[in-house]
Every structure is written in C-alpha cells, then in structure tokens.
Amino acid sequence: MAPEIQPCRRCADTGWILELVDGRKQARPCDCRAAAIRRQKLEAAGIPERYSNDTIENFNDLGRPALQRAKQAAREFADLYPVVEHGLLFVGPSGRGKTHLACAVLGDLILRKGVSGLYADFSDLLLKIQTSFRPDADFSKESLLTPYAETELLVLDELGASKPHPWVLDVLYNLLNTRYNRKKITIATSNYEDEPDLASGERDRLEDRLNYRLRSRLYEMCQMVPLRGEDYRKQILGAQARSQF
C-alpha cells in the first residue's frame, strides 16, 4: 500500500500562505504549490511508465568510457539549461540507454527547473500524422502538431525506427523547422548513425531512414552523443533474469 500523503503543514494544502505585511494580510504561494505544479507537468509530459523512474544518476554506464561521456553530456546539459544553444541527439545500437538518458533529462528539468516538455515516440507520432489526413480523423494535423511545436522541450524517441512516406517526412521537417526557428530545444534518440555500426548489424544511415533535409536540420539543432558498449538489456538484465532460476 502506498504511504499516505500528509497535508502541507504550512498551508494545509491550500497552496497559499496568509501573512501580515505592513499590518495587512497578504497571500503568497507556498513552496508546495510550485512542487505540485512541477509534478503535474511531469505527468503531462507523457514519459512512458517504463522510464518514469529513470534519472541521470541511476544510468548504469557499465564502466564504459563512451557511456560515461554520454552520462556526463546529459548531466552538463541539464545543469546548463536553459543557457544552451543545441539539444542532444543520442545515437547508438539498441540497449545502450539512449531513451533512459533522454527521459531522465526531461524529468530532471521539469522537476528541478519547472520546464514544460513532451515525450513523443517517433513511430507513434508518424502514425498519428498519417491518421490526421484521413477524412474520418477526429483531429487535424494542426491540432496534433501544435503541442509538439510549442512545448519548451521536446524528446523525440527512436528517430528512423520506421520509414514513412516522403510527405509524412515533410510534415515532420516542418515541425522541427518550426522549433528551430523559434529557438526551442529538442532532444532525440536513434539507433541509426551517419555511418552504420556494422558490428551491431545496422546497414542504414540516419539519413537513409529520414532524408537529407531532416538530417541536415538535426545537425543544426542537436549535439550528437554516441553510446557505445555492450547491450545493457542483454548483459545486465539477462544475467539478472537467469539468476532467478
């Protein structure tokens, strides 16, 4: 059973504190009000439940230099934000922790700095874009994309996971271009790189999965952060699963 949440002793959960200022009663916001607003922002961000407890600190770098550098890049970005010029593009084979770090940065900035942000799975977003063009769609392309275009920080996960029609990529380009022109920061992840990691079995480049225009725009929007090393799911989680038998 989850522990019972105790009411705030300072404001009795009203969110406001009454105090005398120059002989007059005035209301000021309680600290718990800001904390509650940030928790609401975190819930509204759409971070998948699997990654909801991920933090930068609990990212397991396995003692690998490339993963340590990626973790450090995430920490430095979160500490410097909003005084940053570019987002982050985490790239590398599956199971290296790209989504962990992307979601951890988003959650960290929401809770520590009150940032507003959204998480979007690339394939899911593409499907929604395609659906918005159907005559019987319950929503328009504009109503779908506006929140992603306007949010302060966007996490776009698994770029290139599926190859959409060119016109869908045009819509996605317009979304990223809008964010670029408005100086809004985007964090992205992808299994695909500019040069395929043949050891992982990948043959396509990121540009092959998207297109030249999208890849070029990402160059301008994001700092690339490669993740190398063993597959965490296979090496650590697999070992944990086997130890239970």
Q: Are 11 and 32 in contact (CB under 8 A)?
A: yes
> 67 versus 3: which is more confidently predicted?
67
Report the predicted TM-score, pTM, of the whole model to 2 decimal places.
0.82
**Each residue's pLDDT tens digit, 100-155:** 999 999 999 999 999 999 999 999 999 999 898 888 988 888 999 999 999 999 99
Distance in angstroms (rounded) separating the CA atoms of residues 176 and 225: 19
Name the CA dihedral angle for 53, 107, 78, 152, rounded to a multiple of 10 degrees.
160
Domains annotated on the chain, with CATH = 34-243 (3.40.50.300)
What pLDDT was estimated at residue 3?
38
**Each residue's pLDDT tens digit, 172-204:** 999 999 999 999 999 999 999 888 666 666 678
